[in-house]
A and B are shown apart, each in its own frame.
Chain A
Amino acid sequence: MNLPELEWQIIYGRLAWAAVLVTILAALLSSAWPHSRRMPGAAMAMLGISVVVLSMLPGEASPAYWLGLAFHWPSGLLVGLCLGKLYLLRDGRREHNAMPVGLAVPVALAGAVLYLDAIGLLSLGVYYLGFEPVAAPLSALALALAGSAAVMLGRLRLQSFALLLAAVIYMLLRLPTGNLWDALLDPLLWTWSLVSLAGMARWRWQPAGAGLHKRGHISRVQTQSVEDAEKSA
């Protein structure tokens, strides 16, 4: 096992929780913003700086101290996806899902096996594999290469970038805990994947067009165009 130094863990934890907090606050504020306009970049930057500064305060004054009490450290992948979501919010793409089905399905499945094993209902030792001295680093390297290739090829770029970030942080400093699983998955990320899948399933099972109306993807002008297209067909 190669475990990270405590000092690095504390720095990582504060920055990581700051990223997660900024994303949650930015998403909440964006949804409250007038629909036709995006949240100004200056407002988002101010929010980010405020939360990072707050997270760096010593001891109990830092939100990371209390979030760590309950949730320990977030995974690198969760942090990367939060940064990706921030990027989308900055561009005014509120409806864009940072957890697409291509990522949500493997995260949900891996989490199900990992957590069933962790609570003792399975006895596979899946978590322990994340400490393997050769297999875990090689897996991280493979994930980093896959993430890089996907970024350069333009496939799920934000998500691939998040994967690359998580793998490289693990390879460089073994953050957040020294276990590869903790770099790629945490219960919050797993919950996000389940909620995303549930939302996608709900959207898919709605009558054609209804889901699009509800999610605001198609305006009235578009609706008219769709109806015209149907008539001509």
Chain B
Amino acid sequence: MRLVLPKRNPCSRISSDLSEQPALAKISGAIEVERPATLRRIRWKFPFAGVFCVAAVLAGLAAEVNRWTGDSAEDGALAVVHIAQHRTVSLHKLSSSHIPMPQGVPSAHASTLTALKGDELLAFWWAGSRESGPDVKVYTSHWGGGKWSVPREVASRDSLGDALGIGIRRVGNPVVWTARDGTINLFIVATGLGGWAASRIAHLVSSDHGESFEVKRLLPMSPLFNTSVLVRATPVGLADGGWWLPAYFELGIKYPMIMAFDEEGEPEWLARIGERTTTLQPTIVPVSAFEAHALMRDASDERRIQQAFSRDGGATWEDLPPLDLPNHSTSVAALRLNEGGYLLLHNHVTEGGSSRNVLRLSVSKDARSWETVFDVARGEPGEEFSYPALQQVGNELHVTYTSRRTSIEHHVYRIAYGKELP
């Protein structure tokens, strides 16, 4: 069949719509086509289309100009005190206790700590009948005067769903950060339809020292229905009052990432850490104003703590060879001490042991070579002491971790500095 278009197309009125169907256009140009009545009035029926388009573009442009004139530049440097000479670090245990659990709740996991003014602390964790259970909620307890307060509920799937306007299926890891102005920022894993791969990150804020929280938003971190993003480790402070939130993507493939916030708690940028696809739950320590070291849980066959390094303020990250420390897919926590030196809390694997029955504290002067300090917890094979959190308050080190999945254990150590290291 060969059909030729006439010089003057009798169907020119509908050419714009039929241009998507060239074969039909050719036929309609050469022969009499039976058209529905509606096709004859395909002409654009909005007489003010041009005016509307111009007005819409101008309105959008005005909104952008308004934003650009209001934006301020941030420097993005990490909050690091320059240390002239590293010294040896020793820790002396002051106390050990369990954070009180809510009544009748058998399971607890994934604690996180933040310091308040006056050497006080807030701890957050999730608790419920079991991991992923519909009754799992995030709780908080206040540390002051050497003891923990009765736990209070902060968020549940119902409260988050009501505030966000969309359903939340389950609640998971919380991560907390206190901004320079005292605002407490709480990030909670909240899943959509599916397992942990359907996770999103809810951002909550408190302006009254953790007495009440308001849901700010879901952080936009993935184009896949904004799912498969989670948090675990404590943020890192920036010199301008902002912070980096370590996060990770998990949908079979796993990779770490960070989201940077300004001092007002607004997200600034997002970056992937390295190129590996088997690392997750990054914990980040600052090395200098623009250098940072990330240590990560390993889901590969290497079974060692993975690491990456950034020299440009977190914008790009270079994968480094894994540390000579075992990691059978367990979370780690790292901290740069105020007077220099780094601490790493991680699960050690011994001969005949299991992946989470030993929780070990290691120390380093450069975050690359680590020495064992002592075991914070040690149990029988199969027992679990995991998901640690570290927080320095003055000259005290606070450690929390999941104890046998039934409670959150809390240790306090006094930090002492010894001789200078070469």
Binding site for B on A (CB under 8 A): 1-4, 6, 9-10, 13-14, 38, 59-60, 64-72, 91-93, 96-97, 100-102, 114-115, 118-121, 123, 125, 127-128, 130-131, 133, 137, 140-141, 144-145, 147-148, 151-152, 154-157, 164-165, 167-168, 170-173, 177-179, 181-182, 185-187, 208-209, 212, 217-219, 221-222, 225-226, 229-230, 233
Contact call A6/B216, Cβ cutoff below 8 A = yes
Whole-angstrom distance between the alpha carbons of A70 and B225 in the complex?
Answer: 8
Contacts of B166 in A (CB 8 A): 13, 64-65, 67-69, 72
Whole-angstrom distance between the alpha carbons of A14 and B200 in the complex?
Answer: 19
Contacts of B54 in A (CB 8 A): 148
Contacts of B181 in A (CB 8 A): none
Contacts of A65 in B (CB 8 A): 161, 165-167
Contact call B220/A218, Cβ cutoff below 8 A = no
Contacts of A171 in B (CB 8 A): 59-61, 63-64
Contact call B2/A233, Cβ cutoff below 8 A = yes
Contacts of B50 in A (CB 8 A): 151-152
Contact of A181 among B49, B67, B216, B223 (CB under 8 A): B223
Binding site for A on B (CB under 8 A): 1-3, 16-17, 20-21, 23-24, 27, 30-34, 36, 38-39, 41-42, 44, 49-50, 53-54, 56-57, 59-61, 63-64, 67-68, 71, 161-169, 192-193, 200, 215-218, 220, 222-228, 249, 251-255, 266-272, 275, 277
- Chain B residue nearest in CB terms to A138: B64
18 A–B pairs (Cβ distance < 8 Å), ordered by A: A6-B163, A9-B217, A72-B225, A118-B222, A119-B224, A144-B60, A151-B49, A167-B60, A172-B60, A178-B220, A182-B220, A187-B223, A217-B21, A226-B1, A229-B1, A229-B3, A230-B1, A233-B2
Contact call A123/B167, Cβ cutoff below 8 A = no
Whole-angstrom distance between the alpha carbons of A120 and B224 in the complex?
Answer: 12
Residue of A115, A121, A225 most packed against chain B (CB within 10 A): A225
Contact flag A2-B193 (CB < 8 Å), given A91-B38, A152-B53: no
Contact call A3/B225, Cβ cutoff below 8 A = no
Contact call A120/B165, Cβ cutoff below 8 A = no
Contact call B17/A96, Cβ cutoff below 8 A = yes
Contact call B266/A93, Cβ cutoff below 8 A = no
Contacts of A133 in B (CB 8 A): 71
Contact of A154 among B16, B53, B56, B169 (CB under 8 A): B16
Contacts of B224 in A (CB 8 A): 115, 118-119, 187
Contact call A100/B162, Cβ cutoff below 8 A = no
Contact flag A144-B56 (CB < 8 Å), given A65-B167, A120-B255, A229-B3: yes
**Secondary structure of the B side of the interface?**
mixed
Contact flag A154-B44 (CB < 8 Å), given A91-B38, A168-B60: yes
Whole-angstrom distance between the alpha carbons of A79 and B53 in the complex?
Answer: 17
Contact flag A118-B57 (CB < 8 Å), given A69-B169, A72-B166, A93-B38: no
Contact of A222 among B33, B56, B217 (CB under 8 A): B33
- Chain A residue nearest in CB terms to B21: A217
Contacts of B24 in A (CB 8 A): 212, 217
Contact call B253/A137, Cβ cutoff below 8 A = no
Contact call A172/B59, Cβ cutoff below 8 A = yes
- Chain A residue nearest in CB terms to B169: A69
Closest Cβ–Cβ distance, residue A160 to chain B (whole Å): 9
In the complex, besides A171-B61, A229-B30, 7 extra interface pairs with C-beta distance below 8 angstroms are A65-B161, A72-B218, A118-B224, A127-B223, A128-B272, A172-B60, A222-B32
Contact flag A212-B23 (CB < 8 Å), given A128-B271, A151-B49, A168-B59: yes
